[in-house]
Amino acid sequence: MSTEEISFADLMASSIHDMKNSVNIQVHALESIAAQIKEKVDAPAFQSLVSVIAQAHRVDANLIQLLSLYKFGKSIYPLDISEHSVAEVIAEVVMQKSLVLALKGIAVEVDCPQDCDWYFDRDLITGVLLNAMNNAYNYTQDKIRIAASTDGRGLTLRVEDNGSGYPVQMLHGDGIDANKGVNFFSGSTGLGFYFSSQVAQQHQNHGHSGSLTIENGGAYGGGCFVVRLP
């Protein structure tokens, strides 16, 4: 392929893939350092390191989301919807975040029947839950709840925290659309919400598509990230 045939989007996707690998290496190195020095440095310095690790996790997740969205746009994502244990997927997500959660002193409650099975793309839904966890552990006080339930309409996944909840302006109308812009004060681009919304919509059954909503309340009275799959 000649240079002229390489699109800017393809070049960006290749660069993002390289950056993702580099960030992933840095994340693991930082976690290893944190585990080694936890009892050797003062609390403020350690918490600063934990905050850096949490943000590194967010960057890593954002890069994966960008690559997935690129593949959605190119219609080349290998969507693999098959039956999975929801409890196992949630356990995997909690395990991936276990070190940061422990370092930040955050307790996780899981409310999911062991026999809860559903049809979905495991990698994509894992990514959605990881994104929700990234948000939750940045805004919670000290608790996160992950719940799953099924009814006649489908599977509902909830990630809740005991923080101050989503801002009112995000809850007016379609909260997801409200956050698609760029907030230059917070640095938010709404990428995580957009990615999760697109993933939900990839899941379709008998003319119904998945959806993402946000609300306040839940078991802890904080923010609630809610994904429904038909």
Residue 227: CATH number of its domain: 3.30.565.10
Angle of the 122-139 helix axis to the 43-73 helix axis, nearest 10: 150
Quick one: which H or E segment has residue 64? helix 43-73
What are the C-alpha distances in Å from 7 to residues 1, 106, 228? Answer: 11, 44, 35
Average pLDDT over residues 51-60: 87
Residues 162 and 222 in one domain: yes
Residues 71 and 93 in one domain: no
Residues 58 and 38 in one domain: yes
**CA pair distance 159, 196, nearest whole angstrom:** 13
pLDDT value at 178 more than 50: no
Confidence of residue 116 (pLDDT cuts 50, 70, 90): very high
Confidence of residue 174 (pLDDT cuts 50, 70, 90): very low
Place of tokens 């429904």: 228
Q: Which of 77, 106, 123 is the last residue of a domain?
A: 77
Which residue, 75, 64, 49, 81, is CA-closest to 203?
A: 81
Q: How many residues does the chain have?
A: 230
**CA pair distance 222, 34, nearest whole angstrom:** 29
* Full domain range(s) for residue 35: 1-77
Q: Which of 31, 49, 77 is the last residue of a domain?
A: 77
pLDDT in tens, 64-106: 889 889 888 888 899 999 999 999 999 999 998 988 898 889 9
pLDDT value at 43 more than 60: yes
pLDDT value at 213 more than 80: yes
Q: In this structure, which amino acid lies at residue 80?
A: D
Which residue, 162, 165, 167, 166, is CA-closest to 144?
A: 162
Residues 154 and 223 in one domain: yes
Q: What is the pLDDT of residue 47?
A: 84
Residues 92 and 185 in one domain: yes
- Contacts of 220 by beta carbon, 8 Å cutoff, 6+ apart: 143, 145, 160, 161, 162
Which residue, 55, 28, 47, is CA-closest to 138?
A: 55
Confidence of residue 5 (pLDDT cuts 50, 70, 90): low
Q: Which of 77, 97, 115 is the last residue of a domain?
A: 77
**CA pair distance 225, 128, nearest whole angstrom:** 10
Question: How is residue 193 written in tokens?
Answer: 């919400």
More confident position, 9 or 70 = 70
Q: In this structure, which amino acid lies at residue 209?
A: S
Q: In this structure, which amino acid lies at residue 149?
A: S
Residues 157 and 115 in one domain: yes
Residues 124 and 50 in one domain: no
Residues 71 and 110 in one domain: no
Average pLDDT over residues 201-227: 94
Residues 122 and 69 in one domain: no
**CA pair distance 25, 124, nearest whole angstrom:** 22
Look up the pTM and report it: 0.83
Q: What is the pLDDT of residue 6?
A: 61
Residues 24 and 93 in one domain: no
Give the chain's domain count: 2
Residues 49 and 156 in one domain: no
Residues 114 and 228 in one domain: yes
- Contacts of 58 by beta carbon, 8 Å cutoff, 6+ apart: 134, 138
